[in-house]
Structure 1
Amino acid sequence: MTSILIIDDDCELGRLLAQCLTKEGYYVQVAEDGEKGLALAESEAFQLIVLDVMLPKLSGFDVLQQIRQSSFVPILMLTAKEHEADKVSGLRLGADDYLTKPFSIQELIARIESHIRRSTRFNTAVSLEGVQTIGAFKLEPALHSIKVNDVPLALTDFEYRLLSFFMAHKNQVFTKQQLYQQVWKEPYLDSDNTVMACISRLRLKIRQAAPKQEAIETVWGVGYRFKGAR
């Protein structure tokens, strides 16, 4: 599931954007100040960030600068200011786009979709040739293989898909319904235990390959997340 982070101190606007983007099929998190937004951006993998310029605790420009030290995630900046200097500053610091408040929700969604399409095409081209390593886990797409401490896991197709999805969204929490819809690509039934069974098998196979690894964590009352590995 494509993940979007909204960093904006306007709580009403943040809720509205989250509702609209969730209806479009995105997984959305909202932070109301710069410090919380930066912490989320550094701890989770998002496919796009919507970032307001005027924020408490840490300005949007400061957040942008710190994110750009380690990530090229698309960042669309929002501001109530109309001064050309602010737009130029944001773009020079590494913003990918700029939208001035008030704006059309549909225009924002269209810009988000455009940036994600471009970013996804680029990342897919790169991932087909390379490997993804998170702690002791190594994903090799060309070989349809995942290793733990260099030990290949004997995975079924859906186990491979589920673990790959977790690795692509480290530290993000997903419900059983979200996981089923993203991995199995079918409508979810509340009585279906497919996800739980698949996660149980994955945990067993990971422990057999690396006894001390507990990478998939249950978040009680919510769902599951991939913590990475030691």
Structure 2
Amino acid sequence: MENKIMLIEDDGEIREMVKDYLSGEFEVTAFRDGTTAIQTIADYDKYSLALIDLMLPDMSGMEIIKTIRQSSNIPIIIITAKDNDTDKSLGLNLGADDYVVKPFSLIELSARIKANIRRAKTYQPLPDKNSILKIKGIEIDTISHTVTRKGTPIDLTPIEFEILHLLASHPGQA
């Protein structure tokens, strides 16, 4: 299966240059604004990685990162002209995995993409032999990614589910 990359970049020249360079190794879906990307993409997890510019015409890249992180753990690389420590720190703290400042080397960008995808695949949790984990009245279904407490469903984001599953799988170690 070919890795799919989501590219959100408003500068047409940069968008096409990155898309052309990466298309030899990746299937790249490019968007020129955040609104179109968010409205078009129903399932972020079908992508292996997202490349997001911070300065978009309709919404900030930071907002897009927040939206993606509500439902997905895919690696996110920020590509931006913003070179100050505050923006770098904010982007990484919101959930981005890497930060690349323009102008950038396409060779380096490709290497960072591969490293982030490799890391994400390496650290994906393995499926449990028992699909339902029960602990103190809570049932965690690792196949359907659902949680119930005394029969009542509990809504969790994918990240919250993974944290709960990790803690419940290793009682007394947290």
- TM-score > 0.5 by shorter chain: yes
Q: Percent identical across equivalent pairs?
A: 37
2: CA distance, partners of 1:2 / 1:59: 25
Indicate conservation of the 8 Å contact 1:61/1:90, yes or no. yes
2: CA distance, partners of 1:37 / 1:117: 24
For 2:23, what is the secondary structure of its paired residue? helix
1:51 counterpart residue number: 52
How does the TM-score come out when normalised to structure 1?
0.53
Q: How does 1:70-149 map to 2 (within 5 A)?
A: 70-123=71-124, 125-127=125-127
Indicate the structure with greater helix content: 1
For 2:28, what is the secondary structure of its paired residue? strand
How does the TM-score come out when normalised to structure 2?
0.69
Any stretches of 5+ residues in structure 1 without a counterpart? 134-230
Shift of residue 126, structure 1, vs aligned partner: 2.2
Question: What do you get for the CA RMSD once the two structures are aligned?
Answer: 2.0
1:21 counterpart residue number: 22
2:38 counterpart residue number: 38
Indicate conservation of the 8 Å contact 1:5/1:41, yes or no. no
Indicate conservation of the 8 Å contact 1:41/1:67, yes or no. no
Q: Deviations over 1:205-229 (max 9, x none)?
A: xxxxxxxxxxxxxxxxxxxxxxxxx
2: CA distance, partners of 1:126 / 1:42: 25
1:65 aligns with 2:61: no
Shift of residue 127, structure 1, vs aligned partner: 4.5
Q: Deviations over 1:126-176 (max 9, x none)?
A: 25756766xxxxxxxxxxxxxxxxxxxxxxxxxxxxxxxxxxxxxxxxxxx
For 1:50, what is the secondary structure of its paired residue? strand
2: CA distance, partners of 1:60 / 1:117: 24
For 1:9, what is the secondary structure of its paired residue? coil
For 2:70, what is the secondary structure of its paired residue? coil
Shift of residue 43, structure 1, vs aligned partner: 3.5
> Number of aligned pairs?
132
2: CA distance, partners of 1:127 / 1:28: 29
Q: Deviations over 1:187-213 (max 9, x none)?
A: xxxxxxxxxxxxxxxxxxxxxxxxxxx
Shift of residue 38, structure 1, vs aligned partner: 2.0
1:2 aligns with 2:10: no
For 2:50, what is the secondary structure of its paired residue? strand
For 1:66, what is the secondary structure of its paired residue? helix
* Larger CA Rg, structure 1 vs 2: 1
1: CA distance, partners of 2:107 / 2:128: 33
